[in-house]
Structure 1
């Protein structure tokens, strides 16, 4: 759950959806639908409504299980890799930004038309500059800035007054239209709907593809899920309710426009083909006079304003969710201390919208790209809903969509079909989407991947269920030769991969001499059996389920590597009593070079208990490539803390030489703080100036329960168990963990 206050009630959450859906899309796209398929545009919107409801059900199920802001990005993060989640979040953020651009332009257009019309009626001729494109662009940017400041100053996202006003205006249009239908003859009404399909089934599909984006907006409720009260109940209800409100306005309005929106002898399809953008205003004027025209203008201004507000609100929350996971700059995750609004995320989002308003050469293609991206991400959402339901057997979502798996399958196929149609109809839309994804991919690899991977590892350690949700079941291999280490080793292995999400495989190795005769000498076997017996006893005492394996080899290190490869182990946990000898270090380096797995080496005392660790010392000498594994280990230790234990105290230590310049020390402190924040937010950082790093760290070890070090990497297959580690092991009896990340 997000730390920010949940302030959106059912009314507020529904307001986000209604604000985004109702009005803007139908005003912009009803004419396109009528031109493509005639009166059957009513069916196009109705069928799109069914697809949207299927999608809402899938998103609502995931939102009830993960009531956090971010929408589809958050669900992709749970079920897929961090790289895939970034791709989803990056394009969804872009789609919401482009939707904001379109609604900002729409607001500026209708506001200008409305203002010039009033000026012409009440003042005089309209000056030439009033229709200037720069004026409209400036008004769009100013409105974006105004709404951004509004979102920073208060956390509400519904815009209740604006939503209520536009629903009332649309309601009046529908009511007066129904009255007009009763005043004309049934023959004229029937003629207005004939022919119903002007372009057959193909035209109907075209109209659906063009207009599906008109129902986009229900997904924004999931995107702001971290701010919704009682999310398991509220989010599904709000999503479905906002869609039903939109359909209860759209379908009757289209029926009214078809029946009485054109003069006798002219069809709605012909009128829309001549003026698709203004068809609703012209149709309303036909049956209601000038009042109808002004009704549509008011509805258009209110609709574009509320849709812009809702999309800015949701887009900033998507950006903030990504920044929390370090897939965007971490500054964008910061919240306003007074309003809990993500100020930086709002400002970055609104700035991007303003830049696109100035620079975007083809707004139509960008809008089509936005529609295409939404369709693709909705299809991904159906896939995620299917995967998460299948993988959530232990903790199913509170809200479960009916008719599973029919809903995600049918909804996903429908979204893919419409996306293919959109991509074929507007090829430039696919190009824009691919270009934006390429930009994001380059930025992710260059700027975000390392920190995002570390944060993802920390999240996984704190919530091991994520492994199951991603379809993973990692295996930890624990070779044990000394039974005195059994309890500590098994408990540490379980902390790395809990038994309910992964497996712990203990290994004992019969190590005979090269001329061993098992018939005459069974001592190696009996010794191995004693170790195995102690392992089983330790497993039973600790309550940790393990699997056991016994093999025979004269070269134990090579045998460990063979078993790890054979079973595709995620990690290997070794327990050693002495790691300060040069010969032992060489054997370990050879093993590290053989293994394509994470390796954790534990040196501990006989009475050492992993769960009893409180003070952890982590010396850092720059980023050594093992931050991912360190995040896993520290996150696991945090997860294992019981309520009656002291809080875990982690100290990150950097020893700087006496020759270090002040600016170097300052930069090192800044880097150390950032690393510590990523790995363990409540940890301490310390920089010591010393000419003897080993002595400094050894002194700090006296006040620590555990020392964690990383091996030195000099290549993918070359890892050194360096002199620093060996010297430190010889000068301190503090329990020590040495880590080597796979690859």
Structure 2
């Protein structure tokens, strides 16, 4: 009998967990590369990323209300599109988000102790994995603290930048350096920071009344994150300008310095480290739940599907994910990890939108489900826009990220084919 997780998360906790993933380290590191790609079109790239994220969020929320169980798009694609597509969604999520975990852990190390960044990264992974094994409510409580700290730091940066005599809102306008390709690439890089709303859906088995809670929590978390990102982007651009922002390795710290608020620079460094810890915490939660779902279906070792009798968490999946992330964090480069992660996550959401498009019919018979024509049209239009946007942003990313991501996806498909062929041979022998 499959062990079920305990439903303890309400709307507030779900929103906080989503914010912990979105309003995290991404905003501290993604603005610079995005500005280099888009120039003065940075805000347009942010708007495009938010539109794609909104479409994905709505599709994910609709699916999570129908399938309120752990696993997210892995479960949705399996049920709506078939076993192979479900497996591929799980594969891209686990591999891509493992890279995200490593990137966040390395960000912690870079801010806390740059000379020992890899060691600090590994220690962070071990500590947060141990916390997650103690129960999802403890993780939700810590995420509340992280979100509060990060929002306070970001608010201080916005106020100090916009209140500075050097602030020039005229730098937000269009310039000659804007190109469609640059805007697309910036949107793909900024999407890395938006992607955390899926954490709410992947925790569906631990949410109270998921049919109501998840559709409310996902757009609420995304809307708050968008307002925060827009305010930060405008304030930083106003003091650094597109060129200065594009050259900056630590844009928020440089913005505080340019605004004359030198006292804020160390605060920003602490805030970045805390934000990365919050993102890492939520990422490990999401990857372990998808690992749990895949192990239940036999795509991963069955031992990983165990649920702790006291803490009601998939403790073996948590430990396995933590070990893999620790190894990657000890050896990986943070910039490559971010690009690779963005490619995998965008393909993951492409499958989420494809799954949502089928919600108007029974996947086994094709029989239409009884919904209003308006809801059906809006739902399908949202899914199409989300899927097209994801594909466009994925292949607008830097070439090495696209090449590596494509190779890893192909490897996953090959492993699935080998496993299926092996199972067929076993059945014939039996």
TM-score past 0.5 threshold: yes
* Superposition CA RMSD, Å: 2.6
Cα shift readout 1:434-487 (whole Å, capped 9, x = no counterpart): 443354445445557777x9xxxxxxxxxxxxxxxxxxxxxxxxxxxxxxxxxx
Secondary structure of residue in 2 paired with 1:217: helix
Q: Is the 8 A contact 1:401 1:407 kept in 2?
A: no
Cα shift readout 1:482-534 (whole Å, capped 9, x = no counterpart): xxxxxxxxxxxxxxxxxxxxxxxxxxxxxxxxxxxxxxxxxxxxxxxxxxxxx
- Note closer, same or farther for the CA distance 1:410–1:152 as it changes in structure 2 (3 Å cut): same
In 2, Cα distance between the equivalents of 1:2 and 1:370?
Answer: 30
Match of 1:270 in 2: 243
Secondary structure of residue in 1 paired with 2:71: coil
Question: Within 5 A, what are the aligned runs for 1:546-695?
Answer: 625=428
Match of 1:167 in 2: 151
Cα shift readout 1:675-698 (whole Å, capped 9, x = no counterpart): xxxxxxxxxxxxxxxxxxxxxxxx
- Residue among 304, 317, 336 paired with 2:308: 336
In 2, Cα distance between the equivalents of 1:198 and 1:99?
Answer: 30
Match of 1:305 in 2: 277
Secondary structure of residue in 1 paired with 2:378: coil
Match of 1:356 in 2: 328
- Note closer, same or farther for the CA distance 1:204–1:335 as it changes in structure 2 (3 Å cut): same
Does the alignment pair 1:409 with 2:384? Answer: yes
- Note closer, same or farther for the CA distance 1:233–1:253 as it changes in structure 2 (3 Å cut): same
Q: Is the 8 A contact 1:61 1:401 kept in 2?
A: no
Q: Is the 8 A contact 2:18 2:196 kept in 1?
A: yes
Which has the larger displacement, 239-248 or 171-180? 171-180
Secondary structure of residue in 2 paired with 1:216: helix
Question: Within 5 A, what are the aligned runs for 1:289-438?
Answer: 289-360=261-332, 362-391=333-362, 393-394=368-369, 403-422=378-397, 425-426=398-399, 428-438=400-410
Q: Is the 8 A contact 1:65 1:396 kept in 2?
A: no
Cα shift readout 1:692-712 (whole Å, capped 9, x = no counterpart): xxxxxxxxxxxxxxxxxxxx9
Match of 2:199 in 1: 220
Does the alignment pair 1:204 with 2:177? Answer: no
- Residue among 130, 149, 163 paired with 1:149: 130
Match of 2:105 in 1: 104
Tell me the matched-pair count.
420
Q: 1 or 2 for the larger relative contact order (CA 8 Å, sep ≥6)?
A: 2
Q: Is the 8 A contact 2:157 2:252 kept in 1?
A: no
In 2, Cα distance between the equivalents of 1:380 and 1:189?
Answer: 42
Does the alignment pair 1:258 with 2:237? Answer: yes
Match of 1:32 in 2: 33
Match of 1:70 in 2: 71
Match of 1:238 in 2: 217
Cα shift readout 1:23-70 (whole Å, capped 9, x = no counterpart): 311211101122233343122112211111111001111111001111
Q: Using the TM superposition, give the Cα deviation of residue 354 of structure 1 relative to its aligned residue in structure 2, in angstroms.
A: 1.3
Secondary structure of residue in 2 paired with 1:407: helix
- Note closer, same or farther for the CA distance 1:414–1:624 as it changes in structure 2 (3 Å cut): closer
In 1, Cα distance between the equivalents of 2:100 and 2:370?
Answer: 35
- Note closer, same or farther for the CA distance 1:102–1:401 as it changes in structure 2 (3 Å cut): farther
In 1, Cα distance between the equivalents of 2:180 and 2:410?
Answer: 36
Q: Using the TM superposition, give the Cα deviation of residue 194 of structure 1 relative to its aligned residue in structure 2, in angstroms.
A: 5.2
Does the alignment pair 1:95 with 2:67? Answer: no
Structure number, greater radius of gyration: 1
Q: Using the TM superposition, give the Cα deviation of residue 395 of structure 1 relative to its aligned residue in structure 2, in angstroms.
A: 6.8
Output the TM-score relative to the length of structure 1: 0.53
Output the TM-score relative to the length of structure 2: 0.90
- Note closer, same or farther for the CA distance 1:177–1:395 as it changes in structure 2 (3 Å cut): same
In 2, Cα distance between the equivalents of 1:403 and 1:84?
Answer: 24
In 2, Cα distance between the equivalents of 1:235 and 1:345?
Answer: 23
Cα shift readout 1:543-581 (whole Å, capped 9, x = no counterpart): xxxxxxxxxxxxxxxxxxxxxxxxxxxxxxxxxxxxxxx
- Note closer, same or farther for the CA distance 1:624–1:298 as it changes in structure 2 (3 Å cut): closer
Match of 1:58 in 2: 59
Q: Is the 8 A contact 1:320 1:345 kept in 2?
A: yes
Q: Is the 8 A contact 2:32 2:251 kept in 1?
A: yes
Give the helix-richer structure, 1 or 2: 2
Q: Is the 8 A contact 1:197 1:204 kept in 2?
A: no
Secondary structure of residue in 1 paired with 2:396: helix
- Note closer, same or farther for the CA distance 1:142–1:410 as it changes in structure 2 (3 Å cut): same
- Note closer, same or farther for the CA distance 1:448–1:395 as it changes in structure 2 (3 Å cut): farther
Cα shift readout 1:330-360 (whole Å, capped 9, x = no counterpart): 0000011101111110111111111112343
Q: Is the 8 A contact 1:328 1:448 kept in 2?
A: no
- Note closer, same or farther for the CA distance 1:379–1:307 as it changes in structure 2 (3 Å cut): same
In 2, Cα distance between the equivalents of 1:291 and 1:40?
Answer: 30
- Note closer, same or farther for the CA distance 1:33–1:229 as it changes in structure 2 (3 Å cut): same
In 1, Cα distance between the equivalents of 2:260 and 2:66?
Answer: 48
